[in-house]
């Protein structure tokens, strides 16, 4: 069991790296993955997305510690435990993030990761199909492995939401992944020919046909480090512990929850914490596990007086029909994640680029599928994009099988509360536009009785949910930054032959869903690992609202 490169994790970044590192046939690659097969309709059918993320078979089943600012609630933290990682259980929404996010990365010490540097990697990975909805072809890729499509938007409510945004005075955009993120328009999804287009389908399965790439099903316990150099990974399978040796490098791509855990178990992390668990310190890096970030969101739900929503299919017969149509023809409602309209807006004058995201869906139901649909209705998932609240992933014990302790510290920054109240009020404003007049019934959530700041805060405390975008726990930065864990080439500072490349290296959370940026990290890290020159920078300039200093719209 030996290869040039050993990758822990087959998820968004790990799967992309496995394909790229094995591409020219010169290097042997072993991918270590604890989860099993992704075959079956619950993963492959886009509309079934609420199932796999709540199934122990596919999900690590992590939960946060009681969150002090949310009345002590513990929140689910789904992470994919299956080939393809979280790209096999996510909501399939594709968002690159805003140019300003990557320019911030660069300014904060991740040199070479500015907007101009990362766009070529987004283009390289994309195979973009805009459909009849326009878009920004100059900024998009059309020959990569990752198919990116748009839903059909057959339900009239998808266009109603966009029209209402326009009536409220906000911008429109026909491609938020192109030059102009700000505005209301179509949402993009990693779905191809009616199937979830995960990293497993896009990168890993085609690459596994190569003789120099191997997938090993096992439990990764820790990185083996000798004389300051990573030489392999200690794994467990079939009740036995063994070592998979890396001739060149070990690459940790195990998620923003498991990557810091594995580093700490390997002796890389805050020395005091490692000492508490009797772990010998290889590299004292206080940033390992710190800087944990996430997006939170609320479901703003409105009843519909016309029976045109997806609720009419929300019964055993309706679901069976959708499932059968998908099974035989890979089309119909099952072939979309149903997030087909989106918006990115700015919360107030003086905010330079969007800091609020909307996912719109023509049914009033919870993302995790745990609450019954409330009759005919529609909803927007809305939340602030750039909270200053920070949490941490820490070890519970030195036992590799023990889940880590996850504390997000959601809503610990007072500004989070005013930002969230604004999200509720601006969504109400959008739903109150004339475009929604033919459909609008009563407000289901929060409910019209919630109006004052105190009432809205109470609702937020009880109902704000994770958008499942954890990141930042092995931050990329300058080698001299004490809180940085990896340098701008994803090399772990203080250890030879070891890299981390996944969403844990984000210095700050990006604007939108994290699957796209995580795959991009895997793409760019591959070139760093192979010592290739970086792709030529892209000189496209992002659109910034000329009124940004004067108005939120």
Query: What span, in angstroms and rounded, lies between the C-alpha atoms of 156 and 250?
Result: 50
β-pairing verdict for 465-466 and 341-345: unpaired
Under DSSP, the state recorded for 53 is G
Question: Residue 485: CB partners within 8 Å, gap ≥ 6?
Answer: 260, 263, 268, 285, 287, 288, 474, 475, 476, 492, 493, 500, 504, 505
| Other beta carbons less than 10 A from residue 498's beta carbon | 27
Q: Is 315 annotated among the ligand-binding residues?
A: no
In a 13 Å sphere around the CA of 138, the CA atoms on its Cβ side amount to 7
Query: What span, in angstroms and rounded, lies between the C-alpha atoms of 345 and 547?
Result: 13
For the question of residue 469 being annotated catalytic, the response is yes
User: Ramachandran region of residue 537, left (φ > 0), alpha (ψ -120 to 50) or beta?
Assistant: beta
In a 13 Å sphere around the CA of 400, the CA atoms on its Cβ side amount to 18
Question: Residue 539: CB partners within 8 Å, gap ≥ 6?
Answer: 116
Q: Is 84 annotated among the ligand-binding residues?
A: no
Token pair in block for residue 124? 């390289």
Q: How far is residue 131 CA from its own chain's centroid? A: 24
Residue 222: enclosing H or E segment and its boundaries? strand 219-226
Cα–Cα distances in Å, from 545 out to 101, 173, 309? 16, 12, 34
Query: Under a CB-based contact definition with an 8 Å cutoff, are residues 235 and 218 in contact?
Result: yes
Q: Is 93 annotated among the ligand-binding residues?
A: yes
Q: Is 258 annotated among the ligand-binding residues?
A: no
Integer-rounded Cα Rg, in Å, for the chain is 22
- Residue where the block lists tokens 């659109």: 543
Query: What span, in angstroms and rounded, lies between the C-alpha atoms of 395 and 273?
Result: 8
β-pairing verdict for 29-33 and 2-8: parallel
| Other beta carbons less than 10 A from residue 329's beta carbon | 11
Q: Is 118 annotated among the ligand-binding residues?
A: no
Question: Residue 86: CB partners within 8 Å, gap ≥ 6?
Answer: 11, 12, 78, 79, 80, 255, 468, 515
Token pair in block for residue 64? 């946060």
Question: Residue 525: CB partners within 8 Å, gap ≥ 6?
Answer: 13, 17, 251, 489, 490, 499, 501
Token pair in block for residue 453? 């700041």
Query: Under a CB-based contact definition with an 8 Å cutoff, are residues 257 and 79 in contact?
Result: yes
> DSSP H helical segments within 386-452, as ranges?
414-431
Q: Which residues pair with 269 in a beta bridge?
A: 284
Catalytic residue among 98, 295, 422, 469: 469
Question: Residue 472: CB partners within 8 Å, gap ≥ 6?
Answer: 256, 291, 292, 293, 390, 503, 504, 506, 507, 508, 509
Token pair in block for residue 413? 């920054």
Residue ranges for the known binding site for FAD are 82, 90-93
Active site residues: 469
Residue ranges for the known binding site are 82, 90-93
């Amino acid at each position: 069991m030996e290869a040039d490169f050993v990758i822990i994790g087959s998820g968004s970044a790990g799967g992309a790296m496995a394909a790229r590192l094995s591409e020219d046939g010169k290097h042997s690659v072993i991918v270590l993955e604890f989860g099993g097969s992704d075959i079956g309709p619950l993963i492959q059918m886009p509309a079934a997305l609420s199932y796999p993320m709540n199934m122990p078979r596919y999900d690590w089943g992590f939960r946060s510690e009681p969150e002090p600012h949310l009345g002590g609630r513990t929140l689910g933290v789904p992470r994919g435990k299956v080939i393809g990682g979280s790209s096999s259980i996510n909501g399939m929404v594709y968002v690159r993030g805003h140019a300003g996010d990557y320019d911030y990365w660069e300014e904060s010490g991740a040199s070479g990761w500015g907007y101009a540097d990362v766009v070529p990697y987004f283009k390289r990975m994309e195979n973009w199909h805009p459909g009849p909805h326009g878009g920004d072809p100059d900024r998009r890729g059309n020959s990569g492995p990752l198919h990116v499509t748009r839903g059909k938007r057959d339900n009239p409510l998808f266009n109603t939401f966009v029209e209402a945004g326009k009536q409220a005075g906000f911008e429109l955009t026909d491609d938020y992944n192109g030059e102009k993120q700000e505005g209301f328009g179509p949402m993009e999804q990693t779905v191809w020919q009616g199937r979830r287009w995960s990293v497993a389908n896009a990168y890993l399965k085609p690459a596994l046909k190569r003789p120099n790439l191997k997938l090993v099903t096992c439990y990764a316990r820790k990185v083996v480090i000798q004389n300051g150099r990573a030489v392999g990974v200690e794994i467990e399978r079939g009740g036995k512990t063994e070592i998979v040796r890396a001739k060149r490098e070990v690459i940790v791509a195990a998620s923003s929850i498991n990557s810091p855990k594995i580093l700490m178990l390997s002796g890389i992390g805050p020395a005091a914490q490692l000492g508490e668990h009797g772990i010998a310190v290889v590299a004292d890096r206080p940033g390992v596990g710190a800087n944990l970030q996430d997006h939170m969101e609320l479901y703003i739900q409105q009843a519909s007086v016309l029976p045109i929503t997806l609720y009419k299919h929300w019964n055993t017969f309706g679901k069976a029909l959708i499932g059968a149509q998908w099974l035989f023809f890979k089309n119909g409602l099952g072939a979309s994640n149903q997030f087909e309209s989106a918006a990115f807006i700015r919360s107030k004058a003086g905010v330079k680029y969007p800091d609020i995201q909307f996912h719109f869906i023509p049914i009033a139901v919870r993302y995790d599928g745990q609450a019954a649909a409330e009759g005919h209705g529609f909803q927007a998932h809305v939340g602030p994009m750039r909270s200053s609240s920070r949490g941490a992933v820490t070890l519970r014990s030195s036992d590799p099988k023990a889940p880590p302790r996850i504390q997000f510290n959601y809503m610990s920054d007072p500004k989070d509360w005013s930002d969230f109240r604004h999200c509720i009020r601006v969504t109400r404003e959008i739903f109150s536009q004339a475009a929604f007049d033919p459909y609008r019934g009563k407000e289901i959530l929060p409910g019209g009785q919630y109006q004052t700041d105190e009432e809205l805060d109470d609702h937020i405390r009880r109902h704000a949910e994770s958008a499942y975008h954890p990141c930042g726990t092995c931050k990329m930065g300058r080698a001299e930054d004490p809180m940085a864990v990896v340098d701008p080439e994803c090399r772990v500072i203080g250890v030879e032959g070891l890299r981390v490349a996944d969403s844990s290296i984000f210095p700050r959370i990006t604007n939108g869903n994290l699957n796209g940026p995580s795959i991009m990290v895997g793409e760019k890290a591959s070139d760093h690992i192979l010592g290739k020159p970086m792709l030529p920078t892209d000189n496209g300039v992002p659109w910034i609202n000329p009124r940004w200093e004067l108005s939120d719209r």
